[in-house]
């Protein structure tokens, strides 16, 4: 599963590295304690007003072996991010993989 967290704040400014690290340790890690990967990325999207924009993004990659069983955990992370930083969306991608 991949989650894309945009770092622009709707009120202006950006989510700092310190704010992100706090969110990761307080919210994400407790939900996925077995491991995860975070990459810095640059995303482009069309916002609610129809304007295309680009922003710094954190890409969270978590491999889970029973995706339906993790839906609640994923939803809690997404909801917490949206609430904490005033975001309207976190982009999510799920796909089957072969892991060994």
Report, as ranges of residue numbers, the positions in the chain whose pLDDT lies below 70: none
**Predicted local confidence at residue 97, as pLDDT:** 83
Q: pTM to 2 decimals? A: 0.90
- For the domain covering 2-93, report its CATH number: 3.30.70
Q: State the average pLDDT for the chain.
A: 93
73: which 2 tokens? 């955990």
Continuous H helices in 1-100: 17-23, 29-31, 71-85
How far apart (Å, rounded) are the C-alpha atoms in residues 62 and 74? 10
pLDDT at position 45: 85
- 98 vs 28: CA distance, rounded Å: 23
Main-chain phi, psi angles of 52, to 5 degrees = -85, 130
Sequence ranges of the domains in the chain = 2-93
């Amino acid at each position: 599963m991949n989650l894309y967290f945009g770092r622009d704040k709707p009120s202006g400014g950006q989510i700092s590295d310190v704010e992100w690290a706090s969110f990761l340790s307080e919210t994400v890690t407790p939900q996925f304690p077995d491991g995860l990967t975070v990459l810095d990325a640059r995303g482009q999207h069309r916002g609610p007003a129809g304007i295309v924009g680009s922003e710094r993004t954190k890409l969270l990659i978590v491999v889970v072996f029973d995706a339906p069983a993790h839906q609640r955990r994923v939803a809690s992370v997404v909801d917490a991010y949206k609430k904490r930083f005033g975001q309207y969306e976190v982009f999510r991608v799920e796909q089957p993989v072969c892991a060994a």
